[in-house]
Amino acid sequence: VLFVPAPCIRLKPKMADQLSTTNHYNCPLYRTAERRGTLATTGHSTNFVMFVKMPTDQAASHWIMRGVALLSALSD
């Protein structure tokens, strides 16, 4: 698995109408490198944490095809 350390990300709550409309990729954040888990009632895996809006000048498909995701812990 290839990885690059991500910078610290500050989460700042905002009202939906105050969110930026710049180009971004909704990057999934997972607890572990295994992108699977039990399917929760929300429809997401129990390993899934949230989507993080990552600014980009590329189309979302560019990152999706490469399987880009954030991980909160790496596997040994």
Q: Which residue has the higher pLDDT, 4 or 39?
A: 4
pLDDT digit string, tens, across residues 44-59: 678 888 999 999 999 9
Start-to-end CA span in the chain (Å): 11
- Residue 37 pLDDT exceeds 80: no
Q: Exposed e or buried b for every residue in 43-65, given b needs 16+ CB within 10 A?
A: eebebbeeebebeeeeeeeebee
Give the pLDDT of residue 7.
Answer: 87
Give the pLDDT of residue 25.
Answer: 94
pLDDT digit string, tens, across residues 57-69: 999 999 999 999 9
